[in-house]
Structure 1
Amino acid sequence: MKKPSVLILLLLNFFFINSALSQKNNPKIINAFSNPIYDGKGYQPLGDLKWKHKTEGKIFASPLVKNGVVYIGSEDGFLYALDEKSGETKWKFKTDGAIHSSLSTFENILYFGSFDGNYYAINTENGKLIWKFKTGGEHWLGANGIDGMKPDTQYMDDLWDFYLSSPVVYEKGRSVVVLFGSSDGNVYSVDAKTGALKWKFKTNGPIHGTPVIDQDKVYIGGWDATLYALNIETGKELWNFPTGTKMGFKGIQSSVAVSDGKVYFGARDPFFFALDAKTGKLIWKYDAEKSWILSSAVIKNNTVYVGTSDSYALLALDAKTGAEKYKFKTNGYIYTSPAIAGNTIYFGDFTGNFFSLDLLSNGKKTNFISTDNRKQFASSTLKNDLLDFGYTGQNEDLSLYENNKKVMDQFYQLGSIVSSPFINNNTIFFGSADGYLYAYNLEKGK
């Protein structure tokens, strides 16, 4: 198997923030995956549960809140529109595949992808289809005998490839486009209102990361282990940066963060990188100690915050040098992309714990909540309350793929959190592999 201790996740999922520019004719990037920083005061710990809503599948995607409605996709194939205050269903939209893509929005349109091979545009008010764009097919990364697992003649999905690419909307003048990656290896730019293809760019592997737009560039990486910078108008490649390709340590699932002329991202490599945004040249890299980095980074006050897999850590790195300021240890893999409000950073781990951490405490001041499933199954699944692949699978032959799937199912039973949080109206929203979307109140700033 792929190193029982080397689990990982992307994206990505993802977490969104408006980054509209002030001048009329300047481009507007709407709900781009960027530094997820919200207004907030002081340290705001997690408060009481406001509500939770049960779907019929795991939730890997991240929520989006707009105009009093929370939108979330589930592995059950539905996109849900829920009342922000109560969690009650307003409407739901059915696709023919699991929804592991997070959402973006423009005017009254929602955009997302499904494993049925379509990217959708639907009406925010009633969930009616506006258009859909057919890709060459969406699927988990897979191969025969992936990462040395047996039997080597069996096709196997990568057990850690949780996400599909999430769309990003880009508006310039009268032109509005939606950009996303695909399992067919292409980056697509399509008309936001009609779904008509504008351009596409072909890479050498599936793309499940989410594009990030900064100025005139699109940054995106994929399973060919290469980060690309493309021209936003034409899709022409400007530069690329290859990462490592060793067995079990290949691929980019995270999205980048762009700040002060630098592009920051992590990979299965296992390193976290800082590149020059203009040239793609390496500035520094951080050795993650055989931990994949699938979490997408957030940057505040010259500090980069990002999660790791096997070291179970939220890292705080100096943005200029890559020097480690501190690391905050959790109970399992951190695949969520963190969100910041005021002096608080929020993120979940794979054991079903969700944390708030005071950024001014150097990792010392924190609180957390646990899913109900974690409380129920932790003692039988975890080793000393810590995730341990070998311990959970100790009675199984872990060279066999099916036994690795069994261990993953036991982990999921805890309510693993790989969905990234969204904050609105002093409430934080996130999904879980237990099928619930959670809404927790935040305490007043301290």
Structure 2
Amino acid sequence: MGKKLCHILIVALLLFAGCAGIRIDRSLRPSAYDWMMYGGAPTRVNVTLSRIEPPLESKWEYNALGGIIGQPLVRDSVMIVATMHGELQAVELGTGKRIGYVVLESAVAATPAWDGKYVYVPSALGTETLACIGVERAERKWTAQLGSIESSPLLLGDTLFVASMDGVLHCVDSRDGKVLWKFETAVKSKRKPIRSSPASNGDVIVFGSDDGGVYCVDRAVGRLRWKHQTSGSIFATPIVQDNRVLVGSLDGNLYSLDIHTGSPAWKYQTGSRVYGSAAADRELVVIGSADGRLHALKNTSGERVWTFSAGSVINSAPLIAGDVLYFGSLDRKLYAIQTSSGKELWQHSAEGRIKVSPVLWGKTLLVTSEDKFITAYRSLQNQ
């Protein structure tokens, strides 16, 4: 090989290597708008302090070059997104331009968790299925072997709670990846997968299982506090609101359970399977169902306040932003609904089916559409 050709190849390799990495040369400032884990908080309530009034217009569209199943995470105008192609990508929120990326061991089928410095990434395949990635210098701090993970990690202080597809909830030290305790839903031969992400009020951890059970375990030691059995598998992540656990099941019901005892407060029949999580504020809980209907209920009683019909399946959680509620459907439409009344305020056709819950940071609404696009919307009223 000639010296000139060798030199060209070396330069090309260096350039290629320089593209694979995330380098953020500034400290990211926290704010009340930050979206750092699935559902926006450990309670997973899908409520934001940000506000954006419809009608909206798209400002940019980002092609992640791989399927996206989890929500984007945002702090200080930096968006983090993980893909089924096995990449963790950082994007500048103002422009939609990629800052960099990190290649992971395998596909990411859930939303990571982010503490501002490190991203905790679950993987569906491979051996090292939980990875701690530093976004400022793209270093891999540690990895853990927890089995296939298709749910989102819950970060509480220095502790991660991670549910795996072999029916085990793991408590992991976020500083070094060491497993502190494990809770097994049943003996190994009878365990079912856990697709439901854990949620918490700070004292206990709650999650659902394919076996139809809603489990509540002690945060400190992983001891079972209670279990409530439904008659269908639970894919949805529970949310915690005012000492109630709210979770939908494939049996078509939304359950409101006392977080201390597991006793049912009320049960609401949607009439169809429930795949996605709910959103809840102090007054209402809102949930979608497979027949394309969105149901708004009184938090205290489960009494129906309104329903709204979309054109196809709703299998992701809505987002409550004050008196405007945003959600997507498999009919490829993004909807803005008045939270208090269910009145449609605006709709927009997306690039593909919407299977991921929207995220609002500041004045930018981020909508993921099938199978690899994120579109940033801003209000026309702010022009």
- TM-score per shorter chain, which class? 0.7 to 0.9
**Partner of residue 218, structure 1:** 245
Deviation at residue 31 of structure 1 after TM alignment: 5.0
* One-letter identity of the residue aligned with 2:342: G
* One-letter identity of the residue aligned with 1:32: R
- 2:280 and 2:286 in contact (8 A); partners too: yes
**Partner of residue 123, structure 1:** 173
Counterpart CA distance in 1 for 2:291 and 2:268 is 12
* Distance change >3 Å, CA 327–CA 45, structure 1 → 2: farther
* Structure 2, gaps ≥5 residues long: 1-36, 51-74, 78-91
| Selected match of 1:66 from 102, 108, 115 | 115
* One-letter identity of the residue aligned with 2:192: E
**Partner of residue 94, structure 1:** 145
* Distance change >3 Å, CA 196–CA 36, structure 1 → 2: same
**Partner of residue 313, structure 1:** 333
**Partner of residue 67, structure 2:** none
Deviation at residue 48 of structure 1 after TM alignment: 2.2
| Selected match of 2:288 from 262, 266, 274 | 266
- 1:262 and 1:275 in contact (8 A); partners too: yes
Give deviations 1:413-442, integer Å, cap 9, x for gaps.
xxxxxxxxxxxxxxxxxxxxxxxxxxxxxx
Give deviations 1:320-349, integer Å, cap 9, x for gaps.
221111112112111111111111111211
| Selected match of 2:351 from 331, 338, 343 | 331
Deviation at residue 47 of structure 1 after TM alignment: 3.1
Give deviations 1:39-81, integer Å, cap 9, x for gaps.
879x954432122222343222102111510011111150111
* Distance change >3 Å, CA 37–CA 55, structure 1 → 2: farther
| Selected match of 1:35 from 47, 53, 57 | 47
Counterpart CA distance in 1 for 2:281 and 2:157 is 27
Higher relative contact order (CA 8 A, sep 6+): 1
| Selected match of 1:138 from 176, 188, 192 | 192
Alignment pair present for 1:187 and 2:187: no
- 1:55 and 1:76 in contact (8 A); partners too: no
| Selected match of 2:96 from 47, 51, 62 | 47
| Selected match of 1:293 from 292, 305, 314 | 314
Alignment pair present for 1:281 and 2:303: yes
| Selected match of 1:85 from 123, 136, 144 | 136
Deviation at residue 315 of structure 1 after TM alignment: 0.8
**Partner of residue 371, structure 1:** none
Counterpart CA distance in 2 for 1:306 and 1:47 is 21
Identity of matched residues, % = 28
- 1:65 and 1:84 in contact (8 A); partners too: no
**Partner of residue 33, structure 2:** none
Counterpart CA distance in 2 for 1:302 and 1:67 is 29
- 1:211 and 1:220 in contact (8 A); partners too: yes
> What TM-score do the two structures reach when normalised by structure 1?
0.64
* Distance change >3 Å, CA 138–CA 54, structure 1 → 2: farther
Alignment pair present for 1:207 and 2:229: no
Deviation at residue 251 of structure 1 after TM alignment: 1.6
**Partner of residue 15, structure 1:** 38
* One-letter identity of the residue aligned with 1:288: A
Give deviations 1:157-216, integer Å, cap 9, x for gaps.
xxxxxx811111223xxxx21111111111111011111101110100111111111112
**Partner of residue 31, structure 2:** none
> What TM-score do the two structures reach when normalised by structure 2?
0.74
**Partner of residue 262, structure 2:** 235
Alignment pair present for 1:340 and 2:360: yes
Q: Which SS does the other structure have where 1:47 is aligned? A: coil
* Distance change >3 Å, CA 70–CA 37, structure 1 → 2: farther
Number of positions where the alignment pairs a residue of Structure 1 with one of Structure 2 = 303
Deviation at residue 85 of structure 1 after TM alignment: 1.6
**Partner of residue 380, structure 2:** 361
* One-letter identity of the residue aligned with 2:143: K
Counterpart CA distance in 1 for 2:154 and 2:98 is 26
* Distance change >3 Å, CA 67–CA 268, structure 1 → 2: same
- 1:219 and 1:230 in contact (8 A); partners too: yes
Counterpart CA distance in 2 for 1:101 and 1:252 is 17
* One-letter identity of the residue aligned with 1:195: G
Counterpart CA distance in 1 for 2:43 and 2:175 is 18
Give deviations 1:16-46, integer Å, cap 9, x for gaps.
434xxxxxxxxxxx453431456879x9544
- 1:31 and 1:105 in contact (8 A); partners too: no
Counterpart CA distance in 1 for 2:224 and 2:338 is 40
**Partner of residue 324, structure 2:** 303
- 2:121 and 2:131 in contact (8 A); partners too: yes
Counterpart CA distance in 2 for 1:181 and 1:213 is 13
Deviation at residue 107 of structure 1 after TM alignment: 2.4
Alignment pair present for 1:254 and 2:276: yes
Counterpart CA distance in 2 for 1:31 and 1:218 is 9
- 2:353 and 2:370 in contact (8 A); partners too: yes
**Partner of residue 28, structure 2:** none
* Structure 1, gaps ≥5 residues long: 1-13, 19-29, 140-162, 245-249, 366-445
* One-letter identity of the residue aligned with 1:89: R
* Distance change >3 Å, CA 303–CA 350, structure 1 → 2: same
* One-letter identity of the residue aligned with 2:295: F
* One-letter identity of the residue aligned with 1:164: R
Query: What RMSD in Å do the two structures reach over aligned CA positions?
Result: 2.2
